Amino acid sequence: MSSSAIEIAGVTKVYPGDNPVTALENIDLSIADGEFAALLGPSGCGKSTLLNLLAGFETVTSGKLQVYGAPVTAPGPQRAVVFQEAALFPWLNVWENVVFGPKVQGLAPEKYEAKARETLKLVGLENFAKHLPVQLSGGMRQRVGIARVLVMEPTLLLMDEPFGALDAQTRLTMQQLLLDVWEGLKKTVVFVTHDIDEAILLADTIYVMSARPGRIATRIPVEVPRPRNLDTLTDVHFNEMKKRIMHEMRADQH
């Protein structure tokens, strides 16, 4: 990790109306290139709003938000988003879903086919290229969603509770998959979650957000050695970190 990937200074987001809602207030955040950052906090604290600002789906009310030195004014292929639901095209098979982005960009097949095959292998779906989404489990559909953004080779991966709709066992499998993928690619990731275990298992740094209006209540470096796997969940360092974060989150609510 070296130069800065994300610089946020004094960012406030207000939704106007008869009763304006301040979703985020005076957010300061600096995320290094190659860092895996988790935004952790209760529902409604503005985690997804912050992710939407980074993605370019929304604009800041005040303050400065830059990704790799450039202000974010609109969505772009270098900032890929993985949502809670994979939102695949149901009429396209796995392969067609994964190569949809490069095709729409007008790239020639030789520019993306090898990368698409490699990405499908990375997420363990090389034998499911011809399957339609309806033939896949929830976890497999989410793998396709991840493959679809990775094939675009983004510099920043924005993940909005991507495993939140999965059952506990599948969620663990997907967390291990993401750990393996990140270890291989070392992308900059901003990962939204309200699950403390998930944040500690995956992230280099956890940013605990306060209840609305959302602010960064505390920044916690994750001092659990990498590489990590599911056994890490029972590690002594892990449990010490979990206690500390639970204490921080409770303190913030008083």
Is 3 among the domain residues? no
Do 128 and 243 belong together in one domain?
no
Sheet containing strand 156-160, strands side by side: 79-82, 156-160, 188-193, 36-40, 205-209, 216-221
Question: What range defines the domain where residue 142 resides?
Answer: 85-153
What is the mean pLDDT of the segment spanning 210-238?
A: 91
Do 246 and 132 belong together in one domain?
no
Do 159 and 245 belong together in one domain?
yes
Whole-angstrom distance, CA of residue 254 vs CA of residue 252: 6
Q: How is residue 231 written in tokens?
A: 């056994």
| Residue 166, CB-side half-sphere exposure with 13 Å CA sphere | 23
Do 170 and 253 belong together in one domain?
yes
At residue 178, the 3 state secondary structure works out as helix
- The H or E element containing residue 179 is helix 168-185
Do 243 and 174 belong together in one domain?
yes
What is the mean pLDDT of the segment spanning 60-65?
A: 96
Do 56 and 171 belong together in one domain?
yes
Q: Higher model confidence: residue 97 or residue 213?
A: 97
Q: Higher model confidence: residue 253 or residue 239?
A: 239
Do 219 and 109 belong together in one domain?
no
The tally of domains found in the chain comes to 2
Is 248 among the domain residues? yes
What pLDDT was estimated at residue 253?
62
Alpha helix ranges (H) inside 79-123: 94-98, 100-104, 109-122
Whole-angstrom distance, CA of residue 203 vs CA of residue 196: 11
What is the mean pLDDT of the segment spanning 6-29?
A: 95
- How many residues belong to the chain? 254
Is 24 among the domain residues? no
Do 164 and 249 belong together in one domain?
yes
How much is the pTM? 0.93
Do 98 and 133 belong together in one domain?
yes
What pLDDT was estimated at residue 252?
66
Do 176 and 247 belong together in one domain?
yes
Is 18 among the domain residues? no
Whether pLDDT at 37 is above 70:
yes
Q: What is the mean pLDDT of the chain?
A: 93
Whole-angstrom distance, CA of residue 69 vs CA of residue 7: 8
What pLDDT was estimated at residue 211?
86
Least confident of 11-15, 144-148, 234-238: 234-238
Q: What is the CATH number of the domain that holds 243?
A: 3.40.50.300
What is the mean pLDDT of the segment spanning 157-164?
A: 95
Is 8 among the domain residues? no
What is the mean pLDDT of the segment spanning 188-213?
A: 94
Residue-wise pLDDT tens digits, 76-127: 989 999 998 888 999 999 999 999 999 998 999 999 999 999 999 999 999 9
Q: Higher model confidence: residue 3 or residue 35?
A: 35
Q: For tokens 């912050």, what's the residue?
A: 50
Q: Where among 126, 153, 180 does a domain terminate? A: 153
- The H or E element containing residue 15 is strand 4-15
DSSP-assigned beta bridge partners for residue 70: 67
Whether pLDDT at 1 is above 50:
no
Is 28 among the domain residues? no
Whether pLDDT at 21 is above 60:
yes
Do 49 and 160 belong together in one domain?
yes
